[in-house]
Amino acid sequence: MNKISVLGAGTFGISLARLLANKGFEVTVYVHNETKAQLLRETNRHERFKDVLLPSSIVYTSDLKEAFKDKEMIVYAIPSTSIREVATLSKEYVEDGQYIVNVAKGMEKDSLLTLTEVIDDVYQNKSLKYVVLSGPTHAEEVIKDMPTAIVAASKDVEAAKVVQETFSVDFFRVYTNEDIRGIEICGALKNIMAIAAGLSDGLGFGDNAKAALITRGLQEIKRLGTKMGCQNDTFFGLAGIGDLIVTCTSIHSRNNCFGHLLGEGKTIEEAKKEIGMVVEGLNALPAAIELADKYNVEMPITSMLSKIVYEGLDPYVGVNQLFKRELKSE
């Protein structure tokens, strides 16, 4: 493994590009906007990490063909809503045998596919090796070389091990897993629960309420995931409870902050504008509701959030309705 492209110059994509470049790989970053690509070339600094000097060896391009040409590994680090578009645009450039590593989190609204399934649906190339890299990994900490653990998941165990070896450094520990769908389900749904946890904070509720939302939220994720054929253990690992905890509690979590703003009385548009980045929990919400209905799974937190977002339910009323539901055993 020598040449790697990272598709997307967001905070996590740039953090991974820096990690890989510092490890000695030839790294290319695909930036959809040529003006932003040129700024990165000139400054070697990212707009959200201005105090961090990026390796001068990183190549920035707005040309998808260049991003794919002669690369051994392609890392998808773009918003979930752009996955199918970028896969479609790059289909003619993908090369046999390439490793396709997805670090984006979400699900496609209309097809109900996980993001790796979306890429595979577009490429239709059996020679490609698909791996998902997921877990509690805030870019704001990875960029500072702070200790982080993550999971590389693939149906192809050897492919997962290659990605494990590629990304592992002293501060970034990678485990392997074969439950690729379970890992992606966790990554998509935990963002929904993070909005709910932030909502609770914004309403002025305490730690008890947040703990209840996190633990019951995990149950919702697990119930749906196991119905979809995912492994039970996945939900209690780094990509499950690990990512759920960090996303529901961290100041770096845009989904949590978005929920907090809603709880404080901001409108959805006002909250999105203030966050200034993609709120993946919002994008995953419609698919989660449809999947819950398809698999006949009870998901009260997800349902409550959907009513707040799409039906204008008052957040305070929504949270209280959760606690007034029929009593049951844990």
Q: What pLDDT, on a 0 to 100 scale, did the predictor assign at position 330?
A: 83
Average pLDDT, stretch 105-120? 96
User: Of the residues 190, 227, 324, 328, which is catalytic?
Assistant: 190
Mean of the per-residue pLDDT values of the chain = 96
Q: What pLDDT, on a 0 to 100 scale, did the predictor assign at position 266?
A: 94
Task: Render pLDDT for 219-229 as a digit per residue (tens, 0 to 9).
Answer: 999 999 999 99
Q: Is 190 a catalytic residue?
A: yes
- Confidence band of 174 (pLDDT split at 50, 70, 90): very high
Q: How far apart are CA 150 and CA 174, in angstroms?
A: 5
Among 8, 79, 75, residue whose Cα is nearest residue 284: 79
Q: What pLDDT, on a 0 to 100 scale, did the predictor assign at position 278?
A: 84
- Confidence band of 231 (pLDDT split at 50, 70, 90): very high
Average pLDDT, stretch 5-34? 97
Tally the C-alpha atoms within 13 A of residue 83's C-alpha that lie toward its C-beta: 30
**From the CA atom positions of the chain, what is the Rg in Å?**
19
- Confidence band of 319 (pLDDT split at 50, 70, 90): confident
Predicted confidence (pLDDT) at residue 1 exceeds the cutoff of 90: no
Q: List domains and CATH numbers for the chain.
A: 3-178 (3.40.50.720), 182-323 (1.10.1040.10)
Tally the C-alpha atoms within 13 A of residue 175's C-alpha that lie toward its C-beta: 16
Task: Render pLDDT for 244-292 as a digit per residue (tens, 0 to 9).
Answer: 999 999 988 999 999 999 999 999 999 999 998 889 999 999 999 999 9
Tokens describing residue 79: 């918003």
Q: What percent of the chain has pLDDT over 90?
A: 93
Q: What pLDDT, on a 0 to 100 scale, did the predictor assign at position 326?
A: 87
Q: What pLDDT, on a 0 to 100 scale, did the predictor assign at position 323?
A: 85
